[in-house]
């Protein structure tokens, strides 16, 4: 049976692999595909009791768990649209999303997340218990729900932070099924695999590549609400075979393992490792591959492209640090009108992965998607002679210093080469004369043990003069999202004291 709606994946897997392991939940409980399907039906019945109708929204305030997954697929089963939101957002952020999405009902994953429980209590939610744990529920009767979303939309993912108008990315059933199949095929996923699920399913990478991709291949998922390097190491020594992650997760795992006096991962069934959400540099890639004993695959995507645009399929030791060739069925082209270097421009992409648009925002949709169907990504890139896509930076993050382009990933790579550096983030800041200066924020295990002069000399050797930072801030921790992705917009505010010293 070919799935046409995302919940079809769960019931197809239940019929074919009913007794096989489908999920290890946040509390280490183990669930078969038949039990997973039962949890989805139970969640659908709960939603049905609220009188929800097709196209209405279900706000799911959660962290990774069976409960959250069940309500996502249950929303599909009753014809509604899931709106998964990270419980670690503050109440103001969640309210802004709710005001825009206008949900018929909100559910909170209370036993998974203390923050979700607190939000549920503040909202006066009814506390209930189901097979998948305790949850809060509140139907928003009498509120203006607005027009229903079209039947083709499965999920709304919101991309805004604390400023600007919320933008709900409408991901269709077709988008998610395409992305899940592409992820499963690319990774060679089978029902014998277990995915380490630390990427939040409230973000597109975790939702499409992990949750839907796993269901497509009938692979099990180990649900991880919050990333911890020690827990990841345990899982990799037990039964996890697939590790989709962001570079920060890899860096923290290697740092933790080194603290135990071990240089590499041993005794693990791990067979596939990928990195996304940030560029790689050659030295860091070699270090990671030596640690895992496996090739580190890279990829590129964004919320509006349902995660996947391109990915590598390289052997171990390959010097390729591109994000690979476009996925089958995906087109990519470069719009050079945005850049001022030959061959570099905005990355545009077209195919079944491109979102259905922004919810209740036709103007932003028309800005993002060209009349001929290409999505404007806002990322700067180039395509090499082999057809591989290279992302050189975000258009909005490009630093122009004395008329020269400075791409933050290049500067970050120079710092990441240093053995005492865990990771680095680089941003630009306007100066009084209208120029831009380069600021580097460098995470180290022990900043006091780092010789700043030696670090600067190390990076100066690797950077042209105009790319060298005017300020370097050492820290033990950088502001990061729940994915582990560094929140660059918060850097200058977070380290305002250090920058003013």
Strand intervals (E) in 352-453: 375-383, 389-394, 399-401, 404-406, 421-430, 436-444
- The side-by-side arrangement of strands in the sheet containing 133-139 is 126-130, 133-139, 105-108, 57-62, 81-86, 153-158, 168-172
Contacts of 302 (CB under 8 A, 6+ apart): 204, 309, 377, 379
Tokens 């009902």 belong to: 105
What is the per-residue pLDDT for 193?
98
227-395: same fold as 7-173?
yes
What is the per-residue pLDDT for 427?
92
- Grouping H, G, I as helix, E, B as strand and the rest as coil, residue 86 is strand
Mean pLDDT, rounded, for 178-190: 96
What is the per-residue pLDDT for 445?
87
Cα 37 to Cα 191: distance, rounded to the nearest angstrom: 16
Mean pLDDT, rounded, for 430-459: 89
Helices 452-460, 408-416: crossing angle, 10 deg rounding: 120
Tokens 């390959």 belong to: 318
What is the per-residue pLDDT for 146?
65
What is the per-residue pLDDT for 63?
95
Cα 122 to Cα 115: distance, rounded to the nearest angstrom: 11
Q: What is the pLDDT of residues 248-303, one digit of tens each?
A: 788 889 999 999 999 999 999 999 999 876 667 788 889 999 999 999 999 999 99
**pLDDT(111) > 70:** yes
Domain ranges within the chain, ordered by starting residue? 7-173, 227-395, 398-500
Q: What is the pLDDT of residues 39-68, one digit of tens each?
A: 999 999 999 999 999 999 999 999 999 999
**pLDDT(340) > 90:** no
What is the per-residue pLDDT for 276?
78
Percent of the chain whose predicted confidence (pLDDT) is above 90: 74
Domain 227-395 coded CATH 1.10.10.10: no
**pLDDT(494) > 70:** yes
Quick one: pLDDT band at residue 162, thresholds 50, 70, 90?
A: very low
- The side-by-side arrangement of strands in the sheet containing 272-275 is 30-32, 21-24, 220-223, 194-197, 242-245, 272-275, 296-300, 310-311, 325-326
- Give the pTM: 0.83
Alpha helices of 134-246 — where are they, by DSSP H?
173-187, 204, 213-217, 229-236
Pick the CATH number of 7-173 from 3.40.50.980, 3.50.30.60, 3.40.50.1950, 3.40.50.10470: 3.40.50.980
Pick the CATH number of 398-500 from 3.40.50.10300, 3.40.630.30, 3.30.300.30, 3.30.70.1560: 3.30.300.30
Mean pLDDT, rounded, for 398-426: 83
Longest dimension (CA), the chain: 67
- Please state the φ and ψ torsions of residue 168, each to the nearest 5 degrees: -90, 110
Return the minimum-mean-pLDDT range out of 77-91, 154-168, 417-431, 470-484.
Answer: 154-168
């Amino acid at each position: 049976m070919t799935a046409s709606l995302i919940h079809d994946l769960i019931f197809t897997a239940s019929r074919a692999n009913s007794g096989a392991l489908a999920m290890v939940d946040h509390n280490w409980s183990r669930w078969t595909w038949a039990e997973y399907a039962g949890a989805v039906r139970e969640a659908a019945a709960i939603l049905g009791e609220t009188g929800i109708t097709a196209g209405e929204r279900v706000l799911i305030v959660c962290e990774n768990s069976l409960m959250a997954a069940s309500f996502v697929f249950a929303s599909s089963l009753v014809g509604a649209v899931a709106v998964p939101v990270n419980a670690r957002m503050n109440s103001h952020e969640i309210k802004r999303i709710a005001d825009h999405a206008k949900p018929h009902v909100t559910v909170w994953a209370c036993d998974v997340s203390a923050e979700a429980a607190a939000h549920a209590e503040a909202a006066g939610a009814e506390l209930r218990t189901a097979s998948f744990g305790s949850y809060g529920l509140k139907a928003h009767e009498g509120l203006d729900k607005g027009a229903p979303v079209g039947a083709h939309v499965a999920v709304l993912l919101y991309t805004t932070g604390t400023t600007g108008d919320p933008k709900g990315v409408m991901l269709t059933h077709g988008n998610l099924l395409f992305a899940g199949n592409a992820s499963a095929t690319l990774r060679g996923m089978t029902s014998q695999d277990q995915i380490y699920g630390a990427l939040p399913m409230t973000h597109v990478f975790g939702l499409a590549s992990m949750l839907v991709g796993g269901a497509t291949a009938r692979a099990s998922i180990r649900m991880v609400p919050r990333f911890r390097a020690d827990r990841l190491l345990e899982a990799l020594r037990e039964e996890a075979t697939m590790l989709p992650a962001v570079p920060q997760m890899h860096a923290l795992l290697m740092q933790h393992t080194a603290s135990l006096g071990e240089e590499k991962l041993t005794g693990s069934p791990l067979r596939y490792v990928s990195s996304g959400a940030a560029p790689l540099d050659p030295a860091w890639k070699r270090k990671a591959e030596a640690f895992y004993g496996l090739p580190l695959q890279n990829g590129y995507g964004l919320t509006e492209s349902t995660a996947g645009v391109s990915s590598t399929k390289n052997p171990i030791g390959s010097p390729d640090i591109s994000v690979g060739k476009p996925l089958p069925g995906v087109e990519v082209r470069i719009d050079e009108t945005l850049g001022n270097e030959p061959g570099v421009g905005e990355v545009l992409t077209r195919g079944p992965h491109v979102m259905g648009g922004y919810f209740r925002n036709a103007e932003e949709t028309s800005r993002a998607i060209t009349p001929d169907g290409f999505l404007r990504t806002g990322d700067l890139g180039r395509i090499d002679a082999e057809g591989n896509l290279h992302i050189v930076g975000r258009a909005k993050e490009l630093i122009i210093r004395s008329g020269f382009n400075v791409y933050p990933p290049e500067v970050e790579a120079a710092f990441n080469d240093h053995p005492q550096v865990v990771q680095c983030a680089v941003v630009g800041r306007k100066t009084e004369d209208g120029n831009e200066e380069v600021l580097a924020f460098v995470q180290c295990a022990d900043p006091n043990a780092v010789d700043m002069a030696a670090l600067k000399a190390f990076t100066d050797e690797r950077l042209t003069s105009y790319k060298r930072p005017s300020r370097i801030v050492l820290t033990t921790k950088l502001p990061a999202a729940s994915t582990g992705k560094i929140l660059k917009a918060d850097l200058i505010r977070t380290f305002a004291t250090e920058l003013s010293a």
